Structure 1
Amino acid sequence: MTFEFNAYSAPLLFGFIQGWIYALLLWVRARREERLSDWLLGWVLVGLSFNIWEYMLGFGGIEILWRELEFFPRTIGFLFPALCYFYLKSQINADFRFSRHDLWHAVPFLVYVVYHLIVFSMGPAFVERWKATVHYPYHINDIESVAGIALSVYYLILSLRLYRQYRAWIKTQFSDTETISFRWFRNFLIALTATFLFSLFMMILDVVFTLTFWQDWWDELAGVFMIYYVGIHGYAQVQPGRRLTFGQTTVTDSSPDGVGVEPERVPESVLQTSELARLVSRTPTALATDLIPWRDTLLAYMENERPYLDPDLSLNDLARRLKTNTSVLSPVINAGTGKNFNDFVNQYRVDAFKRQALDPANGHLSLLGIALDCGFNSKATFNRAFKKLTGQSPREFVESVE
């Protein structure tokens, strides 16, 4: 049994090998660093590799799958969409672990495997008879195809929703979202969507025009590109420096009941010295009476202690400093200032930048240098936040007051 290298088989073979190489690298790193996301991404690559191996062997002249292994389960197609979803879920939640409740995601795959193994175990003659009298006449093959499409759409929707929720969540938890925005998350979803739509397009062409084995090759080539992209970029994905626990309630307790200690009411005279106190009077959202002392304490603390100068400041960090927990501090910020945590902290940084940029003593400093001194950790983050909160770029602001 010799593999024939040609223009059709060679690219698929290289993609298949590439997928397994990166899967092994990911599994080694997963074992070393105890990272579930790497385990799952390795299986995603295995799934992508098995998606092309039928055509790879067929173009290479090896027909074992259509002779000795006819009807044997050849791919993990019904499990692949769920693997992608759980990979993304484990990326943004370091505490994620599979539970018994998650087993239902494997049911379609298990049904597919059991059905095919039972028929396969009856022998080649029975397989051919079953295909001719049951599998094709009763459109079981078509049902499998439709089920595969439905699962892909379902998990793609779940993944897109997860991404949107995560993007909204980080703005309420971190003052710097640049390093944890997971562009790879977004790009991975785009690549999955593009590959799925192209496969669906080729499937429609195959139904309409009855494409030959050779004409249907482009779908498999797209799978090779997907393997290279996911393998290279997925392995190189920079992991966030902080531990992400999206979907979990992060609590920093300083009292036995977990609510935190009651702060002393800050005098109005102290509050009025805060430049950000103007947020209180402009906030349209009603703040619960029992949270007003926390709002006063927060604004005074931000003005006097300037925690916003810490580029990595998070909601959990600020709650710990104020001796409360995030479940108290989050509504204080949202309802008490009308901003999410990210905008709330960046407003202080922007105001600090304005003061320092207009100070003649800082004339020798660059705008970026001043921004870094005010708590921003990158030029992109600074420009984006300044534009959002002021409606103009930092350069436009400086030039408008000169």
Structure 2
Amino acid sequence: MSFYFSAYSSPLLFGFVQAWGYALLLWLRGRREERLSDILLGWVLVGMAFNIWEYMLGFGGIEILWNQLEFFPRTLGYLLPVLCYFYLRTQVNTDFRFSRRDGWHAVPFLIQVTYHLVVFAQGPNFVRYWKTQVNGPYHLDDLEFWFGVVIDLYYLFLSLRLYRQYRAWITNQFSETDSISFRWFRNFLIALTLATLFGFLMDGLSVALSLNFWQNWWDELAKVVLIYYISINGYAQVQPGRRLAFQAESVPEPVLLAESVPGREALTPVGRGAHQPIGTPPVPDGLVPLRDTLLQYMAAEKPYLEPDLSLTDLARRMHTNPVVLSQVINTGVGKNFNDFVNEYRVEEFKRQLLNPANTHLSFLGLALNCGFNSKATFNRAFRKFTGTSPKEFVGQ
């Protein structure tokens, strides 16, 4: 049994080898560094490899899957979307571990595998009978396909929701979010979405135009492209310096901003960057002392000068609970933690800009001294709170 290399089979073979090679690298690194996300990404790549190996072997002239192994489970099937979802969960929560209640996610896959194994175990003659007399006439294969589509869309939805919740969470937990924004997370989802939509398109064209085995090759080539993108970029993904412990239930409920509370005026930044309340504070009476203490602490101690300041850090210094402090910042100041801290940094930059002792420093040098840790973060925050760029602000 020899493999026939051609323009159709070779790209698929390269993608198959690529997936397994990086899967092994990820498993080794995951075990060495105790990183569950690497182990799961390795399995995601294995699932992608099995998604193309039928066509790879077929184009290569090896027909064992259609002869001796007809109806034998050939892919990870319903488990691949689950693996993608849990990979993303472990990326944003380094403490994540599987629990017994997570086992239900594997139930559809186990049912699918059991069904195929039971039929396959009856022998080749029974398999032929089942396909012609039961599977086809009763459209069990179509049902299996459409159930797979539902699973793909369901876990894609869960992943998109997870990303949206995570983005909301980090703005209420950290003063610097660029290094933990997980652009890779977003790009991973975009790549999966595009590949899924292209697969649906090719399935539709295959049915409408009765495409043959060779004409369906483009769908398989798209999967190879996805393998290369996921393997290379996933392995090179820089892990955050801090341990993340995001859980969906930790996302705070939306709160009313100060300006949306009837009869209460907004809180505005005045003076030396401190937020002074005007009118009745839109926070429960029990939290007013903490709000005032927070504003005094920010003005006196300037903790915002530390680039890695987090809500937990600030709460520990003020001897309070992070949840309570977050409530004070959200309701009493009308901002999330990220904006709250970065506005102080912008005000500090504006003050330092007027100091003659700093004329030798560039804008970036000043920004770094004021707590920002990158030019992009500084420029984005400065424009957000002043409406202009630093250069335009100086020229005014």
Q: TM-score range by the shorter chain?
A: over 0.9
Aligned mate of 1:345, from 337, 341, 346 = 341
Q: Deviations over 1:5-61 (max 9, x none)?
A: 000000000000000000000000010011110111000000100000000000000
Question: What secondary structure is seen at the aligned counterpart in 2 of 1:176?
Answer: coil
Query: Do the aligned partners of 1:274 and 1:299 also contact (CA within 8 Å) in 2?
Result: no
Structure-2 separation of matches of 1:276 and 1:383: 18
- What corresponds to 1:191 in structure 2? 191
Structure-2 separation of matches of 1:357 and 1:67: 76
- What corresponds to 1:53 in structure 2? 53
Change (3 A) 1:399 1:3: same
Task: Give unmatched runs, 5+ long, in structure 1.
Answer: 251-271
1:213 to 2:210 alignment? no
Describe how 1:243-392 pairs up with structure 2 within 5 A. 243-247=243-247, 275-281=272-278, 286-392=282-388
Question: What secondary structure is seen at the aligned counterpart in 1 of 2:48?
Answer: helix
- What corresponds to 2:2 in structure 1? 2
Change (3 A) 1:285 1:388: farther
Shift of 1:392: 0.9
- What corresponds to 1:266 in structure 2? none
Change (3 A) 1:295 1:21: same
User: Identity across aligned pairs (percent)?
Assistant: 67
1:399 to 2:395 alignment? yes
Query: Do the aligned partners of 1:71 and 1:127 also contact (CA within 8 Å) in 2?
Result: yes
Shift of 1:280: 2.2
Structure-2 separation of matches of 1:359 and 1:19: 56
Q: TM-score, normalised by structure 1?
A: 0.92
- What corresponds to 2:90 in structure 1? 90
Question: What secondary structure is seen at the aligned counterpart in 2 of 1:342?
Answer: helix
Structure-2 separation of matches of 1:274 and 1:72: 73
Change (3 A) 1:301 1:54: same
Compare 284-293 and 134-143 and name the one that shifted more: 284-293
Query: Do the aligned partners of 2:273 and 2:348 also contact (CA within 8 Å) in 1?
Result: no
Change (3 A) 1:378 1:273: closer
Change (3 A) 1:273 1:128: closer
- What corresponds to 1:154 in structure 2? 154
- What corresponds to 2:40 in structure 1? 40
Structure-1 separation of matches of 2:277 and 2:220: 59
Query: Do the aligned partners of 2:281 and 2:288 also contact (CA within 8 Å) in 1?
Result: no
Query: Do the aligned partners of 1:353 and 1:370 also contact (CA within 8 Å) in 2?
Result: yes
State the AA in 2 paired with 1:361. A
Shift of 1:361: 2.3
Change (3 A) 1:249 1:221: closer
- Count of matched residue pairs: 378
Query: Do the aligned partners of 1:285 and 1:338 also contact (CA within 8 Å) in 2?
Result: no
State the AA in 2 paired with 1:66. W
State the AA in 2 paired with 1:275. R
Structure-2 separation of matches of 1:21 and 1:15: 10
Shift of 1:276: 3.9
Task: Give unmatched runs, 5+ long, in structure 2.
Answer: 251-268
Shift of 1:95: 1.2
Shift of 1:201: 0.2
- What corresponds to 2:163 in structure 1? 163
Question: What secondary structure is seen at the aligned counterpart in 2 of 1:244?
Answer: coil
Structure-1 separation of matches of 2:249 and 2:85: 21
Q: TM-score, normalised by structure 2?
A: 0.93
State the AA in 2 paired with 1:281. I
Shift of 1:73: 0.3
State the AA in 2 paired with 1:236. A
Structure-2 separation of matches of 1:100 and 1:219: 36
Structure-1 separation of matches of 2:321 and 2:249: 10
Change (3 A) 1:234 1:217: same
Query: Do the aligned partners of 2:175 and 2:310 also contact (CA within 8 Å) in 1?
Result: yes
Query: Do the aligned partners of 1:308 and 1:349 also contact (CA within 8 Å) in 2?
Result: yes
Change (3 A) 1:279 1:43: farther
Q: Deviations over 1:148-204 (max 9, x none)?
A: 111111110111111011011100000000000000000000000000000000000
Q: Deviations over 1:213-236 (max 9, x none)?
A: 000000000000010000000000
Query: Do the aligned partners of 2:291 and 2:329 also contact (CA within 8 Å) in 1?
Result: yes
